[in-house]
Amino acid sequence: MQRIFSGIQPSGIPQLGNYLGAIRNWVSLQADHECIFCLVDMHAITTWQAPEELRRHTLTQAAILLASGIDASRHILFNQSAVSAHARLAWIFNCVTRLGWLNRMTQFKDKAGKDRENHSSGLYVYPNLMAADILAYKATRVPVGEDQKQHLELANDIAQKFNHDYGVEFFPQVEALIPTAAARVMSLRDGTKKMSKSDPSAQSRIELTDDADAIALKIRRAKTDTGVLPATLEELADRPEARNLVSIYAALANMSAQQVLDQHQGQGFGPFKAALTDVVVQAIAPIGAETTRLLGDETHLLNTLRLGAQRAQAIAEPIVSEAEKLVGFLK
Catalytic site positions? 111, 194, 197
Q: Which is nearer to ligand ATP, 197 or 218 (CB)?
A: 197
Question: Minimum distance between the CB of residue 150 and ligand ATP, rounded to whole angstroms?
Answer: 11
Q: Among 5, 9, 83, 108, which residue sits at the site for ligand ATP (rule: CB under 6 A)?
A: 9
Angle between helices 269-295 and 257-264 (to 10 degrees): 130
Is position 194 an interface residue for ligand ATP (rule: CB under 6 A)? yes
Question: Minimum distance between the CB of residue 249 and ligand ATP, rounded to whole angstroms?
Answer: 15
- Judging by beta carbons within 10 Å of its beta carbon (0-12, 13-18, 19+), is residue 203 exposed, middle or buried? middle
If you count them, how many residues does the chain have?
Answer: 331
Question: Minimum distance between the CB of residue 98 and ligand ATP, rounded to whole angstroms?
Answer: 24
CA–CA gap between residue 193 and residue 106 (Å, rounded): 13
The per-residue DSSP string of 120-141 comes to -HHHHHHHHHHHHHHHTTT--E
CA–CA gap between residue 315 and residue 318 (Å, rounded): 7
66: closest CA among 34, 11, 26? 26
Is position 144 an interface residue for ligand ATP (rule: CB under 6 A)? yes
Q: Which is nearer to ligand ATP, 179 or 230 (CB)?
A: 179
The answer to whether the Cα torsion of 28, 127, 159, 312 is positive or negative is negative
The answer to whether the Cα torsion of 324, 169, 3, 318 is positive or negative is negative
Q: Among 21, 127, 191, 308, which residue sits at the site for ligand ATP (rule: CB under 6 A)?
A: 21
Is position 301 an interface residue for ligand ATP (rule: CB under 6 A)? no
Q: Which is nearer to ligand ATP, 54 or 323 (CB)?
A: 54
Is position 184 an interface residue for ligand ATP (rule: CB under 6 A)? yes
CA–CA gap between residue 194 and residue 251 (Å, rounded): 16
Torsion angle of C-alpha atoms 100, 104, 107, 108, degrees rounded to 10: 40
Q: Among 4, 35, 75, 147, which residue sits at the site for ligand ATP (rule: CB under 6 A)?
A: 147
Q: Which amino acid is at 60?
A: T
Looking at 144-152, 219-227, 251-259, 293-301, which segment touches ligand ATP (CB under 6 A)?
144-152
Q: Among 39, 92, 185, 248, which residue sits at the site for ligand ATP (rule: CB under 6 A)?
A: 185
Binding-site positions for ATP: 9-11, 17-18, 145-147, 185, 194-198
Interface ranges with ligand ATP (CB under 6 A): 8-9, 11, 15, 17-18, 20-22, 144-145, 147-148, 183-185, 194-198
